[in-house]
């Protein structure tokens, strides 16, 4: 059994009717480690995250999360595994627009008994605490997500991903709408909350300047044998 939080071995993935997007001989992320994953636009970062979350399945190779081989789980058990162990901040946030910020955060523990059991306080208190620390006022917390600014929605998505202390936090470019100062504070808080929970963090960006806040940094082009046309254009 692997002791890494995430381990990929000989993973190959292609979208239907397209040339391969990913061909990764080996990549791993330590438990409780914080990893920045960098790469050019279109190079396959979001695709890789979708494989880690079990949303898509590689045509070849093995993905182990917390020592579990995702391919050995039925689709139903993969959904359960994701709900129990992974907090995911999507590139497009995926908040429910008509629900309040607070209720969106509570969704993070709604589908997982394990995550509810890890709460030290009632879920509402934890959600309120996270959102307050992330800078949302009481009034904003009760506003529908659709009425929040993009940067505020990003912070709601972060709180939803972190609540109930999932072992793995996957964040797909969650700071694109923030100015540099807010971005740094957001990442520090995200890492502080993750650290307090012992959560492994995989944070995707194309912004090289963020590397200093993370323990590890991987360039997708260093682990992926497929080179994207944009990355090739950048090299030229
Ligand atoms: N749902 C999909 N169906 C088919 N092809 C897709 C799909 N999602 C992504 N792709 C293709 O896979 C490649 C990698 O896309 P991906 O979204 O993983 O890149 P990315 O590194 O996350 O880019 P960005 O930094 O712009 O978010 C692109 O060529 C894209 O067209
Ligand atoms: Mg992406």
CB 39 within 8 A of CB 222: no
Residues 6+ apart with CB under 8 A from 152: 101, 136, 140
* Mean confidence (pLDDT) of the chain: 92
Domains of the chain: 6-235 (3.40.50.300)
Mean pLDDT, residues 87-108 taken together = 92
pLDDT above 90: percentage of residues in the chain:
81
Mean pLDDT, residues 96-111 taken together = 96
pLDDT above 70: percentage of residues in the chain:
95
Protein residue whose Cα sits closest to atom 25 of ligand 1: 41
> Residue 112 pLDDT > 70, yes or no?
yes
Ligand nearest, relative to CA of residue 44: 1
* The ligand 1 atom nearest the CA atom of 206: 25
- Work out the pLDDT band at 158, boundaries 50, 70, 90: very high
When computed from its CA atoms, the radius of gyration of the chain, rounded to whole angstroms, is 17
Protein residue whose Cα sits closest to atom 10 of ligand 1: 15
**Range in 5-9, 84-88, 104-108, 149-153 with the lowest mean pLDDT:** 149-153
DSSP string, 155-210: HHHHHHHHTT--SEEEEESTTTTS-HHHHHHHHHHHHHHHHHHT-EEEEEES-GGG
What pLDDT, in 10s, does the model give residues 45-81? 999 999 999 999 999 999 999 999 999 999 999 999 9
Residue carrying structure tokens 């202390």: 165
User: What pLDDT, on the 0 to 100 scale, is given for residue 22?
Assistant: 97
Residue carrying structure tokens 């492994």: 200
Q: Which residues of 170-205 are buried (b: 16+ CB within 10 A; e: fewer)?
A: bbbbbbeebeeeebbebbebbbebbeebebbbbbbb
- Ligand 1: residues whose CB is within 6 Å? 15, 18, 21, 39, 41-47, 91, 206
């Amino acid at each position: 059994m692997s002791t890494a939080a995430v381990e990929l071995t000989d993973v190959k993935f292609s979208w239907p009717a397209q040339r391969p997007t990913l061909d990764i001989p080996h990549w791993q992320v330590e438990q409780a480690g914080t990893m920045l994953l960098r790469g050019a636009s279109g190079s396959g970062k979001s695709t890789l995250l979708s494989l880690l979350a079990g949303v898509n399945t590689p045509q070849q190779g093995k993905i182990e999360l917390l020592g579990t081989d995702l391919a050995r789980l039925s689709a139903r058990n993969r959904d359960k595994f994701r709900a129990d162990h992974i907090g995911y901040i999507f590139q497009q946030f995926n908040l429910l627009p008509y629900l309040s910020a607070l209720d969106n955060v509570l969704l993070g523990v709604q589908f997982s008994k394990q995550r509810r059991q890890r709460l030290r306080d009632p879920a509402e208190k934890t959600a309120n605490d996270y959102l307050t620390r992330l800078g949302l006022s009481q009034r904003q917390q009760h506003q529908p997500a659709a009425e929040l600014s993009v940067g505020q929605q990003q912070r709601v998505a972060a709180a939803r991903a972190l609540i109930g202390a999932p072992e793995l936090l996957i964040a797909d470019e969650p700071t694109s709408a923030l100015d540099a100062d807010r971005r740094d504070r957001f990442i520090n808080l995200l890492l502080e909350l993750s650290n307090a929970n012992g959560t492994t963090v995989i944070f995707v960006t194309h912004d090289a300047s963020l590397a200093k806040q993370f323990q590890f940094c991987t360039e997708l082009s260093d682990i992926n044998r497929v080179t994207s046309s944009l990355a090739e254009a950048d090299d030229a």
